[in-house]
Amino acid sequence: MLSPNERRLQFDDCIYQGPTLVPELVGILLRACLLPFLLIADVEKAFHQIRLQRPQRDARFLWLKDTSKPPANNSRILRFTRIPLGVNASQFLLAAAITLYLHREKCPVGDEISRNTYVDNVILAASSRREALKKHELAKSIFTQMHMNLREFLGDSTYVNSRTDSRNRAINPSRASLLG
């Protein structure tokens, strides 16, 4: 029996977290202030969109069928096909997948997206309304190619907001938050 002072290993203790690939928040916010037009968006269910490659899908775990019963004859073996949400390596895996795709495909505005994506929030700045709309289209297209939905677009210009697809626009702009 363990004493209350003994520490058991937790799941996150056994997983390599990976390096921090998320850009510094202060840098993102400063870059967002450099140009007159700001555009923010959210990657829908970002962590659920990263699939494990078929050869790597032998990531199995045990699941209790009924938590009120003992484990003997009460467990199932399940398998991850996507990265697990909530583990210490989740942010690294998401950032690595996005960065790898942007680097490999040499996407237009790819560097800007890479430097200004904080977990699942994308922040873009533009010098004109026209450039903001172009970046909106490019970013939406890039994430669609990654099989991710970039949504809840919101700009600081009513002109830009009115010309973005209403299905991808922020539902309640007055309650929108930057990076959160």
Residues paired with residue 42 on neighbouring β-strands, in sequence order: 121, 151
Rounded to whole angstroms, the Cα distance separating 19 from 25 reads 16
Encoded tokens for 61: 């775990």
Question: Is residue 75 one of the residues assigned to a domain?
Answer: no
Question: Where are the extended beta strands (E) located within 52-178?
Answer: 59-64, 75-80, 117-118, 121-126, 150-155
Structural domain count of the chain: 1
Rounded to whole angstroms, the Cα distance separating 143 from 131 reads 18
Residues 5-45 have pLDDT tens digits of: 667 777 778 778 888 888 999 999 999 889 999 999 999 99
Query: What letter would DSSP give residue 20?
Result: -
State the chain's mean pLDDT as an integer: 86
* CATH number, domain with residue 135: 3.30.70.270
Q: What is the pLDDT of residue 136?
A: 94
- Global pTM reads 0.79
Question: Reduced to 3 states, what is the DSSP secondary structure of residue 150?
Answer: strand
Q: What is the pLDDT of residue 172?
A: 66
Rounded to whole angstroms, the Cα distance separating 30 from 47 reads 26
What range does the domain containing 118 cover?
11-52+85-175
Rounded to whole angstroms, the Cα distance separating 79 from 169 reads 35
Question: Is residue 43 one of the residues assigned to a domain?
Answer: yes
Residues 113-152 have pLDDT tens digits of: 999 999 999 999 999 999 999 999 999 999 999 999 999 9
Question: Is residue 109 one of the residues assigned to a domain?
Answer: yes
